[in-house]
Chains A and B, each alone.
Chain A
């Protein structure tokens, strides 16, 4: 039985963990940059520091976590085995980490050489990942909405990175491109097509599994990824033929699709059979509510563009969707994945002769709950700071850095305990084997 429980194809512990431990540091950096810049950072989304903070969070935190988690879970959720997972993790982690730092530095200091090298490095890194994922998924039929969602999300990632590379090169080399329109499209593909569809594809599996809710109904689950992709293609076409009305229509419909998914997930959560609301559940509630507010703002601005021009509108939208939406959803999942993964590796080490410690000893609930409260407070402070930057921007930035640092500490604690238990289990195992 024990041999059956261990997934031989699962990558070693070190493969995903390097991503999980690096990502929070990018969030710390984002918080520190907000604190350092102070009120000025809330003036416009085109400020170099805002571009830097946005990409610290989307590339440095989100993409880092997502690719690390995918390397771990593709065999489990899709039956797709990545070739040489540890080598892939090493290359992707190194490329993504240095590429994100170069890009953020390029934005912040306005240095073309950094932007150029970031564009090349990030393009190569994502292509390496996508090539490996393609090789793993190509023979896997889309037997579930999850597998179809994963494939469509990866197609979106290709578009996101292509648009991003073109814009970075345009900024660095002064190409005459309509950057604001392209930036919206890049964000749409990144947050809607890649992150949003990937999140849904994974949610179909992990929401019922982690929170003991009913399953996602099959029909909308099949359609959600396709609808999102179709709307993004229409949006892209509308940009190409310069049809602003069609751009707004596709944005409004994408917002509605996202709202339907978030609303459905909240409804499933309300029917869960787990009595106690654990930290994953609460982080998901925060993430869903944050996304719903953000998507309502997107819908409003698509119908009534003047709203988008209001002071602080774009900042609040970004804080809600990224800081209050995607990040909490990702951290919520991480707080299940890391203890489980640690437990699984310890369990395998014990060879069914020495039991692994309980998961709550690997990452105590209290540590996670306190960190979640600090994180929620930081998001609220950031929202208030977007309205009254003079008052709170530095405090909000510092508190975000603190909450993200706390996340790092919690994850590091799990890895430290893994090392301690590993020594303990190996010693006990040696005694048992020697006594035979």
Chain B
């Protein structure tokens, strides 16, 4: 799945915990410096935010009208 913001997308909207977290960390591992990935979820992933901050990843979240949170994460 690709997206206008980045070709690297984890659509975790119908996945059970901890899959969204695991898939996001796996995709981050595969990204090169300067690349970005997008995580789609129906909630704001606060525990993931904490890990992203600890590991020095910048992120930006947007809430879409259908209730999807788009989290754009930089490698």
Assess whether B21 is in contact with A78, with CB atoms less than 8 Å apart.
no
Residues of B within 8 A of A273 (CB): 14
Residues of B within 8 A of A76 (CB): 46-47
Assess whether A1 is in contact with B25, with CB atoms less than 8 Å apart.
yes
Chain A proximity mask over B41-58: 1 for CB below 8 Å, otherwise 0:
011101101110000000
- Assuming A5-B18, A221-B67, A273-B14, is B44 touching A208 (CB within 8 A)? no
- Assuming A208-B42, A209-B43, is B67 touching A143 (CB within 8 A)? no
Residues of A within 8 A of B22 (CB): 1
Q: Does B4 belong to the interface (CB within 8 Å)?
A: no
Q: How far is the CB of B42 from chain A (nearest CB, A)?
A: 3
Assess whether B42 is in contact with A79, with CB atoms less than 8 Å apart.
no
Q: With contacts defined as CB atoms under 8 Å apart, how many contacts are there between chain A and chain B in the complex?
A: 65
Assess whether A218 is in contact with B25, with CB atoms less than 8 Å apart.
no
Q: Contacting B64 at CB < 8 Å: which of A9, A75, A212, A218?
A: A218
Assess whether B43 is in contact with A205, with CB atoms less than 8 Å apart.
yes
Q: A9-B50, A208-B42, A273-B14 are in contact. List 14 more A-B contacts (CB 8 A).
A: A1-B25, A4-B51, A7-B47, A75-B47, A76-B46, A77-B43, A78-B46, A79-B49, A143-B44, A214-B13, A215-B13, A215-B43, A215-B66, A218-B65
| B contacts, CB < 8 Å to A | 13-14, 16-18, 21-22, 25, 42-44, 46-47, 49-51, 61, 63-69
22 A-B Cβ contacts within 8 A?
A4-B25, A5-B18, A7-B50, A75-B47, A76-B46, A76-B47, A78-B46, A79-B49, A144-B44, A144-B69, A146-B43, A146-B44, A204-B67, A208-B13, A209-B43, A212-B14, A214-B42, A214-B66, A215-B67, A217-B67, A218-B63, A219-B65
